[in-house]
Amino acid sequence: MAQNIYDTPAFFEGYQQLPRSVLGLDGAPEWPALRALVPRLQGLRVVDLGCGLGWFCRWARAQGASSVLGLDVSQRMLEKAATLGVDSGIVYERADLEALALSPQSIDFAYSSLAFHYIEDLAALLGTVHRALMPGGRLVFSIEHPIFMAPRTPGWHVDAQGRKSWPLDSYQMEGPRITNWLAEGVVKQHRTLGTLLNTLVQTGFSIAHVQEWGPTDEQVAAVPSLAEERERPMMLLVSANR
């Protein structure tokens, strides 16, 4: 079973204070770039893999999705999501993405935001999603960039002139990475960029777009602290077709 760190009280409380939890999609700086990859949702059946507080689920319905299935391993997240808006077209279910079962050709669009790096058997999950998508369906997801996740001790290095750099080590050594973020012992699964993209291809997807996300000039001007995100890619955004 996937690690359920989000139900840890300290982690859950800390996560709720993040801008992307308080402000929703607009609190995530990568959202405009991710949104650009999402197809027209009018009439589509959508699944959100790792839906968290359900912000994308509610947005998808506002865009005309006929139904949205929000899946997450965290009971706390799902309970909170249910309080943020009642919509008969959205169903929230607790599910372990490591052992997910979806009916073949039962969805038109699959979405996931910053969840796949927690999954140990990503090939199995992608295979399940591929089978569940209708022919011509699309998967759009964000994931922590392998450069961001690879270091055994991640963190900025600041030189005497105050310039930041992101030391990179252990990149070819795939496997778990344990970090302390909002709680002790958060386990993520590092894969090289090649492994990630080849896994998509091997499970039958056709890669349509890959973006090593960084903030725009306008975003940096509005939020100067985002400038450090240009020193190394933190997130990878991918669109792939069934």
Cβ–Cβ contacts within 10 Å for residue 146, how many?
A: 21
2-38 confidence digits (pLDDT tens): 666 666 776 667 666 677 777 889 889 999 999 999 9
201-230 confidence digits (pLDDT tens): 999 999 999 999 999 999 999 999 999 999
213, 202, 211: which is closest to 122 by C-alpha? 202
Is the Cβ–Cβ distance between 50 and 71 less than 8 Å?
yes
For the entire predicted model, the pTM comes to 0.92
25, 32, 29, 71: which is closest to 52 by C-alpha? 71
Which pLDDT does position 179 carry in this prediction?
Answer: 82
116-167 confidence digits (pLDDT tens): 999 999 999 999 999 999 999 999 999 999 999 999 888 899 999 988 899 9
- Spell out the alpha helix ranges (H) of the chain: 9-16, 19-22, 31-35, 55-62, 75-83, 122-132, 146-149, 193-202, 217-222
Which of 64-67's residues contact partners 24+ apart within 8 Å by CB, and which partners? 64/40, 65/41, 65/89, 65/109, 67/91
The region of weakest confidence among 46-55, 101-110, 162-171 is 162-171
Which pLDDT does position 10 carry in this prediction?
Answer: 67
Residue 141 has phi, psi (to 5 degrees) of: -150, 160
Q: How many CA atoms lie within 13 A of 177 on its CB side?
A: 26
